Amino acid sequence: STKRSLLLLPGDGIGPEVMRQVRRVIDWYARKRGIEFQVEEGLVGGCSYDAHGTPLTDETMARALAVDAVLLAAVGGPKWDNLGFDKRPEAGLLRLRKEMELFANLRPAKVFDALVDASTLKPDVVRGLDIMIVRELTGGIYFGEPRGISDLPNGERRGINTQVYDTHEIHRVARVAFELARKRSNKVCSSEKGNVMESGLLWRQEVIALHKAEYQDVELSHMLADAAAMQLVRNPKQFDVIVTDNLFGDILSDEASMLTGSIGMLPSASLGATDADGKRKALYEPVHGSAPDIAGRDLANPIAMFLSFAMALRWSFDLQAEADILEQAVENVLSTGLRTGDIMQPGMARVSTSVMADSILREMDKLATA
Ligand code: NAD
Ligand code: IPM
Ligand code: MN
């Protein structure tokens, strides 16, 4: 059989530090489980701009389209913050999402028991939390036209972005949310601002129509996005699956990350449509960014990146038991009290990125032989 292929895009800042540790996990699966991946590495973001004058080359784009799955760590940083929009590191990531047609971004926020006290919220509010944010990823205000900055005759300047959603874009992401809910607690909360935005009103109407036609068994509710932001910290356990647009999903998922203790904990899977052979394009990335403030010091939490690889094992390679090993190892190591700085708590042992990874790998050894 052909080997499973992976393209690794470490990117900028802490990206290479956390990707280096994932490489060890990938090697572990080959050595200890006989599961081999054909791994290639490429440039995206600021590092690609420095090497090639563009945040993503056509060649890397083509490789991303050809492999079974892409793992991306993070892009961006102050060094590139004054470039034009098409040259910025973030443009490389946005091009990957758009050209791979990764319209559904799954951002699970799960609270590990060991980290209940690491959250800034009260333990009772977050204990046992398990929600899934489904963020629309290839449309909305991130991509709508017209956009740009222009000079006005009166000497002022104007910045423009446009929120656009068409029926099929809403249906396909809502479908992903309904299907996921059926395998979870069977609840979907759709979030927009249909009270002020026509695109939000259309979103709500189309979600209702799809629900009526195909998903009446799933409990559907609607919440304005500002209220959802509030409810997410007031009583997050009321939610199961939240489906929302590109921008609101970006914001609500950063907010949800703090329920779990740190943005350094949150993985994501960006998925395209399933084709006739049952295959779908996919890119796996942590929710966090390049963390310029801690980059290059072996301080970053590698867990979001590890859990993103676990999502790849589940979603792209159907290796459920193997993903269980990785996720269980993370949970066990957290239970022993090891913490990177972002999830540090009194009385716990503060460790580096690499020591956290060492410990997780050792725990995987134990779980695999148990
Ligand atoms: P950020 O997520 O990089 O950092 C926010 C805060 O969280 C920082 O204090 C950082 O140290 C901390 N943090 C993030 N990840 C961590 C980890 N794994 N372990 C420990 N601490 C962690 O967000 P930002 O500072 O707003 O953005 C920095 C750059 O990253 C920007 O250029 C932005 O565009 C980019 N960014 C990229 C992605 C991506 O590649 N997917 C996502 C978000 C932001
Ligand atoms: C994310 C990031 C990206 C986004 C940026 C870096 C383009 O914040 O993946 O959450 O806004 O989608
Ligand atoms: Mn974000």
Residue pLDDT, tens place only, 262-306: 999 999 999 999 999 889 999 999 999 999 999 999 999 999 999
pLDDT at position 1 over 60: no
Of the candidate ranges 63-67, 150-154, 320-324, 366-370, the one whose mean pLDDT is the lowest: 366-370
Q: Are residues 240 and 307 in the same domain?
A: no
Is residue 164 helix, strand or coil? coil
- Domain co-membership, 91 together with 134: no
Backbone angles phi, psi at 222, to 5 degrees: -130, 140
Give burial (CB, 10 Å; 0-12/13-18/19+) of 24: middle
- pLDDT (tens digit per residue) in 32-89: 999 999 999 999 999 999 999 999 999 999 999 999 999 999 999 999 999 999 999 9
pLDDT at position 193 over 60: yes
- Is 250 in the active site? yes
Percent of the chain scoring above 90 in pLDDT: 98
In a domain, 326, yes or no: yes
pLDDT tier for residue 2 given thresholds of 50, 70 and 90: low
Identify whether residues 80 and 160 lie together within a single domain.
Answer: no
Q: What does pLDDT average to over the chain?
A: 97
Position 230 confidence tier, pLDDT thresholds 50, 70, 90: very high
Q: What is the pLDDT of residues 80-135, one digit of tens each?
A: 999 999 999 999 999 999 999 999 999 999 999 999 999 999 999 999 999 999 99
pLDDT tops 70 at residue 310: yes
For residue 369, the domain's CATH number is: 3.40.718.10
Count Cα neighbours of 232 within 13 Å in the Cβ-side half-sphere.
27
- Ligand 2 pocket, 169 CB below 6 A? no
- Tell me, using a 6 A CB cutoff, whether residue 266 lines ligand 1: no
Catalytic pick among 165, 250, 284, 342: 250
133 lines ligand 2 (CB under 6 A): no
Residue 116 falls inside a structural domain: no
Per-residue pLDDT band at 211 (split at 50, 70, 90) = very high
Q: Which of 330, 328, 362, 326 has its CA nearest to residue 343?
A: 330
Whether residue 189 sits in one domain with residue 90:
no
Give the Cα separation of 112 and 117 in Å (integer).
10
359 lies in a domain?
A: yes
Claim to verify: residue 151 and residue 249 sit in the same structural domain: yes
pLDDT exceeding 70 applies to what percent of the chain?
99
Mean pLDDT of 227-248: 98
Domain boundary residue, one of 258, 289, 315: 258
Establish if 95 belongs to a structural domain: yes
Q: Answer yes or no: is 123 within a domain.
A: no
Residues 72, 143: one domain?
Answer: no
Decide if pLDDT at 329 tops 70.
yes
On whether ipTM exceeds 0.95, the answer is: yes
**Nearest-CA residue for atom 25 of ligand 1:** 291
Mutate to test the pocket of ligand 2, among 250, 266, 270, 288 (most ligand atoms within 8 A of CB): 250
Domain presence at residue 122: no
Please report whether residue 26 resides in a domain. yes
Q: Which atom of ligand 2 is nearest to the CA of 253?
A: 10
Q: Are residues 48 and 91 in the same domain?
A: yes
Residue 365 annotated to the active site = no
> Are 134 and 254 in a shared domain?
yes
In a domain, 124, yes or no: no
The answer on 151 and 48 residing in a single domain is no
Check whether 197 has a pLDDT greater than 70.
Answer: yes
93 lines ligand 2 (CB under 6 A): yes
DSSP string, 61-85: HHHHHHSSEEEEEE---GGGTTS-T
Among residues 240, 258, 276, the one where a domain terminates is: 258
Structure tokens at 329: 């190892």
Of 200, 227, 258, which one is at a domain's C-terminal end?
258
Task: Supply the range of the domain harboring residue 290.
Answer: 1-110+264-370
pLDDT at 370: 80
- Answer yes or no: do 166 and 195 share one domain: yes
Task: Judge if 60 and 150 occupy the same domain.
Answer: no
3-state secondary structure 267-295: CCEEEEEECCCCCEEEEECCCCCCCCCCC
pLDDT confidence of residue 316: 98
Q: Do residue 201 and residue 247 come from a single domain?
A: yes
- Residue 3: per-residue pLDDT: 85
What total number of domains does the chain contain?
Answer: 2
